[in-house]
Structure formats: C-alpha cells, structure tokens
Structure 1
C-alpha cells in the first residue's frame, strides 16, 4: 500500500523525528542543497528533483522549479519525469524476474520467443540470445533505426521495429564491440511480453511497480488528469526555457516503452534505488542480481573518466553501466529525451544512491551535479563544486567545436524546382518508409510519410542540399546527397548530419532511399 505521503518525504520526515540529525548529516544536507542551487543557477533549469539515499535512509530530497516554465506549479518529490533510458534497467529487471520464475533463460534464442525476429545477417538472427538484446553488442551502429522511435509522435509500431531490423546493415561484427542501441530493448520488451503472456506495460506494473510500491510511476497509455504532478519537457529559446512537445489529455502507449518510455517521480525512483542497494531484498534472487550487475560487454574508458574518476574499467551489464570511481564500484545510467534528462548513480559498497531528474536541456547539468554529489559521497571532505565541473565541460565543448567546426550554412536559400530536378519525387527507404521531395507553397518540401515532425524545406548551400526542418524541436539539420546517377529508378539518395555532434538518434547514416515515383 502506498504511504499517505510520498515515499521520500515521508521517510525523510520519519528520520527527522526519530533520530535528530547529526552535525555531519546537517552539513551534508546543506552541501547537497547548495550544489542543487548552484546547478539551477548555472544552467537556468526549469525544474529539477534530486535525492540521495544511504544505508536504507533518505539523506536528501531537493526539488526546484516548475512543471512548466511560468505555469506556477512547483516540482515536488512525486512529480513525474520521463526517465528515458533509465527505463532500460527496469526492463532488464523485469526480464530477470522472468528468469527467476522459469519463464525464460538468458541464453534463449530470441526467435524462441519471437519467431518473426530477423537481423540483417541470418547467422546473427539464429544466434542472438535474450542477453544480447541488453548489452549493445549486435554489430549495429550507434542508435541504428532510432528514427522509428523519435521524434514523437510517429506511426511506427513495435511490429515495425521487429520487421525493420533486417534492413539495418551492421557496421561491426556481432559481439565484438559496444555500440549503444535502443531498438533491441524494444525487442527485449516484446520477448518479455511473449514469455509472460501479457502486454509489456501490464507486465511492468505487475512485476515492478506493484511489488516495489512504485505506484506513482506510469507506463503505457494513461490519462494526464489522473497522474497528479507531471513535468513537461523544455528547450532553450533566446535564453529562456520554453515547453516543447507537451502532453495531451491522454498520454499514448509509445513504441519506445521498453527502451525509454517509463515516467516516475523522485520518491518512486528512490524506492527503486533502495531496492538495488539492499542485497537481501527479495525482489530478485542473488543469482539474478549478480547477472544484472555482471560486466557483459566491455566499453571504452573515456579520457574524462580517467581524469575525473581515475577509472580503469568500464562495461555494460543488463541495463546498467559499470565502472570504478576513485577505487569505488559504480553502477549507473543516464536517460535523455527531448527536453528531459535523468541520472541514476549507485555506489553499492557505500550503499549510496543518487537520483537526478530534470525537465529541461540538462546534459551538462546532470553531469556536473552528479559528479559533485558522487565525490561528496565517496569523500565527505571533498571540496568539489558545480562551477569547477561546469567549466571543464565548457572547455570540452569548445575543444570539440574547434576539432569539428560547424559548416557555414549562412548562404542558404530556398531551392528551386529546376535545379532540384534530380531530387524531386517520392523516395523509399526499406525501414523508414517513404519521403516525398516535392514542390510546396514556399519552395521544395521534404516530408516523411510516417514521421510527421520530419518535414522541412529543401535549401541550397553552395553546391550542397540541406533540409531545414519546419519544427524547431527537430534540432538535427540534414544534408541530402543526390544519387550518383541521374535520379532514375534504382539510384540511391543518402543523408548525413550537418552538425557532426548532433543527437545520434537522428540516424541519417542508416538511410538509403530509392526513387519510387514522381511527385503527385
């Protein structure tokens, strides 16, 4: 049964009245609050919720800002945020529960549960196991096929994902190297649903939310007016936080559910973290806890990890990233969606967990704040602060921009029909579907048939072709590369990023369009 107060607030209150806080605890809480304030001030965040747990107790709960900038409704410990890819650990946990229940095994072939499953290579299809779906070792490129998931809304289904995988060509060998993907987590959700004999959203409620008391979380379709406090995503426009892609009255069942579609509040995320920090918790068997937190796929140790954390190893478990930080074992993950950022950091040997939820452009904010809170947990005498790490991130960004400067597109102009003749027509990619490059009132339009936000205007930049998307929230402009032949049937149209540092989920490199017919 849910506590009368949100979990974090209720437990924190109980601690206050049951045990007077020590001077050290009071100092720690003040330092955490100061770090949150510094982060909000530095990055102009619309809203944030932060919690820290240790030894089974909540030691800090901090919320700032609003659900929607200027709306006046404050963020609270039970405000729902999109946790994005922190969903992956929940999907892995549900699968581990099914292994405990004897419904499946980690080494089951995927086709045992989903006979229609196909990868590009028949050998990979036959040999891919359930475990492989979770550890980013498929041979697919970074974010391959993500355009079937985002931007939302679109009309791709989970069945489309499974059907489309066979058309995505690998860029590496199966099980040889790490490359982050989302589509195979969608497949993992469908494997879980098939093994359990129920839709994935119902399975998550039964196996995760109910036994752990996380009944504030939402998955699948739900009504906004029945969910209480719900944060809306934001982007920065002229230095202000502006809501983007806000929820309607009914939040739909999204295709990416098992990869990044769960929403939770801070109180329920602290329940989730608390379970993992308690090795005796009965939600999972000891064997499955070990399986989830085993290093299954090596990952590169970045220069930042070496310099900031003195890290020596990095690997992916089932839905979690594993590494060492200043001699401590770290289990963590981040989550990123348009206008929503999350971070979960666990230090199991210290029985400490950190949760950060942000409803605005928060990549740098969660990184700097998470680093400070983690260092303070490892060494209470740490003097690290948000300004220091924010400065390092600014320098990283400047160095990256110097190495890969953005192309100058200031000379862009609307393309004319005559000069774009070789591009005009309806084109089709085998997994993304049709895109029409056809005249419209303001020039030449580029419009996806299945992803309505992927519509824009064809521009000329020198000798190159650029797509300027109509919706400003689609923040990855594209170069179109005309067919090498004259645009006739069978010629291939390809796409690439204008900004080499753009969101990898706009996986233009995986697209290859063949011309189908003339414009209507």
Structure 2
C-alpha cells in the first residue's frame, strides 16, 4: 500500500472505529517531539532562513504521520533584547485566523443554529452590497470563498493600518459603497471585509461576540491555551513576538504592544495570535483527530471546509516548483495538488509578521512556520523547501536553492516598478489654495488637506495614522506618511468637472504593492473648507 492510500485507510479506520480511537493521544501536549526523519535538514531550514533574511526570530514545527516530530524556535522576541523566542511565544497568525473563523461557523452549522446556504441578511438584516440582487442572494458560504465580485482587498483601508476608528458596523455600512469589478460568483479576488462580516454572522447566530465564540468554540475545546483574541494583557500572555522591519543596521521592532493589547475590528479576518505549540495542536486536530475532536467537529463539516468552492489561478512558479495543476479555496483554506499530493494550507501576512500552515492530509503530515521579521521571501522559500522534505525527501531542492532563485528574481531588471521619487519637495501651500479643504469618500469617510506650519497636510479622520505632508514629484502630488508603519506611499490626483465639486483620487506609488492599500477604490469629493 502506498503512503497516500495508507493515510486514507488510517483516517477511514479511525472514523469507522471511533470507539477504538477514543483513547488515542493527541500526540502533542507540549511533550518532547518524536524524532523527525531528517533533523539535520530541518535545522538547515531554520538556520538558513534566519541567516538569509536576517530574521529576528522564527518558529518551525513539523508533524509526520500524526506525530509532532520537530518543534524549534530561534531568535528573540525583540531584536537585541535577549528575550528568546520559544515554542510558547505568541505570533500574529494573520490570515491563518480565517480557518478558525470558518470553524466557528461550521460548529454553528453542525449545531443547527444556521446553514451554509442561509442568506446573510437572515442573520444581519442591515447587510448591503452595491447590487441589491447580490445583497439578497449572498449566502453565508459566499462570505468565506472570495467570490463576491469586489476588487482584491477592497475596503481594507477600513482595517489597516491599526489602530483606527472603524467599527464592524462601519464596515457593514461601507460595503454598500464598494463597487464590484466583476459579477457575483464569477471569479476569485481575495477579500478580508467579508470575513469580518462572517464573524458578525457568527455572533448573531451564536448569541455572543465573535471573540467570545472563538474562545469558547475553538480555543477551549482544542486546548489552544496560548491563543489570544480580543483584548488581553501582555503580562498574562507570557512571551509575545513583536513585528520588525529590516534596516541597514538589522531588524528593528515596530508598533510594539503596550501593556494591554486592544481588541481589533479585523479579528475575524486576521486578528488571532497563537504559539507554535498552539498551531501544532490546531494542525493535529485536522491531520489526526481524536474521537473527541471528531465530536467537536464532525466529518461532514470537515469535508465542507475542505471542499473546493472557488477556483484559484495557478502561477508559473507553482507549476514549475510544485507541478501544481489545480488550486481552489474552501472555507478558510486553500486547496492544491503538489507533486501529485493533496495539500490544504493558508498563509498569514501582516506588516512585520508572516506565517504558513501546510497540511498533507493523506500523509497525516504537515508543518507550520511563523516569523516576526520582513519574511515574505523567507516564507516562500521555507514553504517550498519543506514541501520537498515530504514529497521528494533527500533529493528535492533545499532552502538555499530557493533563496538563490528569489534573490536572482529580485535583482532582475524590471523586477521593481517603483518609480524614482527622489526629486520630491514639499508642495507650495500658496499654489494649493483651490485644492485645500475637507474631502469625503462614501466608505472611508472624511480627510482634510489643510495647511499647518507652512506645509500642506493630509489627515484621515477615521484612520488617524494616515497622516502626512504633501510632496511634489515632477508635477505630481504624493503623500509622504509620517508613520513608516503605513506601508505604501500614495499618489494623489485631482479632477475638475465644470461647476461640480472638486474630486480627488489616490493610487499606490508602488503599482505592485500590497492590495490592502486599496487607494484605488477611493473616490473623494470636496465637501467643505479647512477649519
């Protein structure tokens, strides 16, 4: 029997013989891991990622045939602090939160409190999108599978940068003003706002806040004791990794937590923090569930979450590196074939925080990696190398190979389309009299363009960290943010239409920048003078 069939047979055996499996251990309760097939190869991944990308810290855990075989943490929670990253250190898992949100909904479906095909308006009567027909027809399942027709990352400026003043009610109200780029259910475009809506659907059906439901329905029954959501005290959580950015002097911590970590609007889309031990326990629940865990979420709902609902594009890199033919999105999970094997996975990305959880269900195997540095390339290379650890052991390319490929791509001519803005100078306030004033976008709210200390300043009312001075770059206006945690600078353009009020639009200076800086979806109209 080949390994894939053996994995399926073992899963079927456990499902069919629940009593026999009832006493099966979880294989992970903070105990020392079993011996991996190739500990030296795994150590090379950790050490190579730290060295190649100058990461402040990393955590890597591996599951092989239903047992944790490797769990290693390296580096510091804050670079230079001497405080070590451990298996219990909390990381922002970002969009790996989505599968936990989907699990809350699956639990409610299993309990008969809602159905996947319920109209969203049945649970949230105030819910509206741009098209009245889509408003009526959008089902709970549609909130999770990125098929709404909205542009990629539409409305994410209501979530990030944090903290801001947008509430979940603002997001539900703002959705009605976000214009689709394609018809409903006709294609894939990654979405965060509708996961926030999904969290509110869960709250309405479950009779408690989203945060309380996650703690009660996911953390407590699965023993994810370190995971945090909502407001929590940092001293009670223990070790907490802080996000970093890369500088010429090495990684530097940014936007560090205070004594009390506040609740955030985006929790259902990407606001959960967990440790390596927690994420391994979470993964084992999917790869080698005990009878108690199958009672927590029955097989029918597990299959629903891992059913392909929306096709995803297959990149040239996926075809070349992984021989991938099909990719799709389930409920909070990405599904794909890799080297002829089925994988279930997700990534998480927040500024200064990166994670990946990769499951190979037919092997009852997988891995999780988390870092709190600028680790996009590190995550890509680690994921590729770790997949080969399973699918081509001893013969597949290692981390150094993928690191070299990514470095070569980054240096290639045309790899970056960021224009040269070094000629920037502050705009002349006297030349901006006609442009000064208060502007309003129907979903983002009010911003001001007003003079202060001989500068023209941009200030958002609802997202206070979006503040900066206006610069001129060869005749085009650019917003230079005060806070380097606002990831992408923005162009600003003005549009006159006779007697109509002056309009203003924005666009990313880096056209390939993260889609969550969705300046292009803004449509400001001047509504008043500066105070």
Pairwise TM-score range, normalised by the shorter structure: over 0.9
Aligned counterpart in structure 2 of residue 259 of structure 1, from 250, 269, 278: 269
| Aligned ranges 1:214-225 → 2 under 5 Å | 214-225=224-235
Partner of 2:523: 512
Q: 1:361 to 1:7 in 2, by over 3 A?
A: farther
Q: 1:123 aligns with which of 111, 133, 136?
A: 133
**Are 1:397 and 2:437 an aligned pair?**
no
Once residues 396 and 332 of structure 1 are traced to their aligned partners in structure 2, the CA distance between those partners, rounded to angstroms, is 25
Which of 351, 359, 371 is the matching residue for 1:338?
351
Report the secondary structure of 2:72's partner residue.
strand
Checking the alignment, whether the CA contact within 8 Å between 2:27 and 2:68 is kept in structure 1 is no
Question: Structure 2: how far apart are the matches of 1:234 and 1:121?
Answer: 41
Alignment deviations for residues 231-284 of structure 1 (CA, whole Å, 9 cap, x no partner): 111111224111111111111110000000000000010000000002564121
SS of 1:481's equivalent? strand
1:495 aligns with 2:506: yes
Q: 1:204 aligns with which of 211, 214, 219?
A: 214
Match of 1:10 among 30, 38, 48: 30
Q: Residue 301 and residue 383 in structure 1: after superposition, are their counterparts in 2 closer, same or farther (change >3 A)? A: closer
| Structure 2 residue corresponding to 1:78, chosen from 88, 95, 102 | 88
Answer yes or no: is 1:42 the counterpart of 2:52.
Answer: yes
Q: What whole-Å deviation, never above 9, does each CA across 1:278-336 have from its counterpart, x for those lacking one? A: 25641211111111000000010011100000000010000011100000001111000
Q: Secondary structure at the match of 2:410?
A: helix
Show the counterpart of 1:179: 189
SS in structure 1 at match of 2:176:
helix
Please report the TM-score for the alignment, with normalisation by the length of structure 2: 0.92
Asked if 1:106 corresponds to 2:108, the answer is no
TM-score, structure 1 as length reference: 0.94
Deviates more, 1:441-450 or 1:137-146: 441-450
Kindly state the Cα deviation for residue 479 of structure 1 after the two structures are TM-superposed. 0.5
The count of aligned residue pairs is: 503
Distance of 1:104 and 1:322 partners within structure 2: 25
Shift of 1:442: 4.8
Shift of 1:34: 1.4
> Could you tell me whether the CA contact under 8 Å between 1:315 and 1:323 is conserved in 2?
yes
Of 274, 277, 289, the residue aligned with 2:287 is 277
* Alignment partner, residue 483 of structure 1: 495
* Structure 2 CA distance for aligned equivalents of residues 490 and 391 of structure 1: 53
Q: Hey, what's the Cα distance between the residues in 2 that align with 1:422 and 1:406?
A: 29
Report how far residue 7 of structure 1 moved.
Answer: 8.8
Residue 380 of structure 1 deviates from its aligned partner by: 1.8
What secondary structure sits across from 1:402 in the alignment? coil
Corresponding position of 1:373: 386
1:436 aligns with 2:448: yes
Distance in structure 2 (CA, Å) of the matches to 1:352 and 1:442: 61
Aligned to 1:136, the other structure's residue is in SS state coil
Structure 1 counterpart SS, 2:430: coil
Aligned to 1:18: none
Q: How far apart are the structure 1 equivalents of 2:187 and 2:446?
A: 32
User: For 1:329, what is the secondary structure of its paired residue?
Assistant: strand
Q: CA deviation at 1:403?
A: 6.0
CA drift of 1:397 comes to 3.1
Q: Helix, strand or coil for the counterpart of 2:118?
A: coil
Unaligned ranges ≥5, structure 2: 1-25
Between the aligned partners of 1:145 and 1:188, the Cα distance in structure 2 is: 15
Instruction: Decide whether the 8 Å contact of 1:7 with 1:267 is kept in 2.
Output: no
Distance 2:415 2:41 in 1: 37
- CA distance in 2 between counterparts of 1:160 and 1:263 reads 24
Residue 161 (structure 1) aligned with residue 168 (structure 2): no
Measured in 1, the distance between the counterparts of 2:221 and 2:211 equals 15
| SS class of match (1:12) | coil
Q: In the alignment, which residue of structure 2 is the partner of 1:457?
A: 469
Which deviates further from its counterpart, 78-87 or 402-411?
402-411
Whole-angstrom distance in 2 between the partners of 1:135 and 1:383:
33
RMSD over aligned CA atoms reads 1.6
Distance 2:344 2:136 in 1: 31
Is 1:468 matched up with 2:480?
Answer: yes
